[in-house]
Amino acid sequence: MRRTLLAAALLALLIVLVALWSLVTGSAGLTVGEAMRALFAPGEGRSDVILWQVRLPRVVAAVAAGAALGAAGAIMQAVTGNPLAEPGLMGVNAGAAFAVVLALSVFGVTASGALTWCAFGGAGATAVLVYAMASAGRGGPTPIRLVLAGVIVGTFLGALTTAILLIDSQTLDAVRFWTAGSLKGRQLAQILPVLPYVAASLVAALVFARQFTTLGLGGDVARSIGQNPALWRAIAAGCVVGLAGSAVSIAGPLGLVGLVVPHMVRLTLGGGYGRIVPLSILGAAALTLLADTAPRALLGVDLPAGITLALIGAPFFICLARSHGAVRG
């Protein structure tokens, strides 16, 4: 417990520091003092515009999307008991990408606010479809059926998306950055409407972490200690949809973070989802923010965060995977 609290405090501090770093780096230099003044006493100056229009939205988007994906990944792994489970498996990324590409290509939607809701709607609809497919039959949505249904729907929609992009190179050009998971050019007005969903789902994830762990022990065990697996599976799925749908609508499909961060927590501090869920939330937020900030600050290149996440996260993840004998899959 003490180690968990310490780790949580350290991660929270890291988030604050990296957020500051993110606010003061960019093509136009701001000092920390200027940034703080603009943040807490907004005026009409140049630094206010830069901070509120460009940099703060990025920070908010990175933290919100990262936190949501970390929680969603932890829940998915807890409920399915599968180390390969990640939010993308519910088909949310494929559904969101399909909705966005369809909107751009067929309906000619260009307003980015509208695209945010397209992504959110596509993600939600796909997840509902996946869940319905997995729920058919007597056994209900067992983890393995859920995962297979997710793969089926995701593959199908992914193929349709690719087909559209192969025919329509204009949309390919417009959507490339989005599919690489970029936080560039977000507006607060687009992000704020999604935040309540993120917040509500995060709270639910934290409160119900124990029940999700019980689910992962299998339907029989869960029933024997008086849990109703069907109800809790539905709640878990609802949480994942809220979280992953929000994340993908804010930042595009950020692949690795939901998969990797829960493993990192498990490998460094050990199991128990009461610990893994909160630390995954903080860790994933920190990692995403860092991935969005570091290339801009250190290299002056604005890489899409999804790419940086893989470049930072993957080697670290491989080292962790090597340094521990058996991971409880």
Partner 1 sequence: MRIAGLALIVSLAFVAALVVGDHPVPPQEVLSALFGADGVPTPSRVIVNELRLPRAVMALLVGAALAVAGAIAQAVMRNPLADPGIVGINAGAALAAMVVVVQVGSLPETALPWLTFGGALSMAALIHALAWRQGTTGTRIILVGIGLSALAGAGASAISVFGEPAAVQRAMVWLAGSLQGSRWERVPHLLLWAVPPALLVWAAAREFDLIALGDEVALARGQSVNLARATAILACALLSGAAVAAAGLVAFVGLAAPHIARALVGPRHARLIPTSALVGAGLLLCADITARAAAPPLQLPVGLVTALLGAPFFAYLLWKRRND
CA angle 37, 43, 49 (to 5 degrees): 90
Q: How far is the CB of 319 from partner 1 (least distance, A)?
A: 9
The interaxial angle of helices 305-323 and 273-294, nearest 10 deg, is 130
Residue closer to partner 1 by CB (options 189, 319) is 319
CA-based Rg of the chain, rounded to a whole angstrom? Answer: 20
Q: How far is the CB of 68 from partner 1 (least distance, A)?
A: 19
Q: How far is the CB of 183 from partner 1 (least distance, A)?
A: 14
Q: How far is the CB of 162 from partner 1 (least distance, A)?
A: 6
Residue closer to partner 1 by CB (options 194, 257) is 257
Give the span between the Cα atoms of 174 and 8, in whole angstroms. 38
Residue 326, classed as helix, strand or coil, is coil
Q: How far is the CB of 184 from partner 1 (least distance, A)?
A: 11
Residue closer to partner 1 by CB (options 109, 174) is 174
Residue closer to partner 1 by CB (options 67, 180) is 180
Cα dihedral 194, 196, 202, 204 in deg (nearest 10): -130
Residue closer to partner 1 by CB (options 182, 201) is 182
Residue closer to partner 1 by CB (options 124, 313) is 313
Cβ neighbours of residue 17 under 8 Å, at least 6 residues apart? none
Residue 303, classed as helix, strand or coil, is coil
Q: What is the 3-state secondary structure (H, E, C) of 207-239?
A: HCHHHHHHHHCCHHHHHHCCCCHHHHHHHHHHH
Give the footprint of partner 1 on this chain (CB under 8 A): 82-84, 133, 136-139, 144-145, 147-149, 151-153, 155-156, 158-160, 162-163, 165-166, 169, 172-173, 176-177, 180, 255-256, 259-260, 263, 303-304, 306-311, 313-315, 317-318, 321-322, 325-327, 329
Residue closer to partner 1 by CB (options 134, 194) is 134
Q: How far is the CB of 272 from partner 1 (least distance, A)?
A: 18
Q: How far is the CB of 160 from partner 1 (least distance, A)?
A: 7
**Residue 100 in contact with residue 175, Cβ under 8 Å?**
yes
Give the span between the Cα atoms of 56 and 188, in whole angstroms. 8
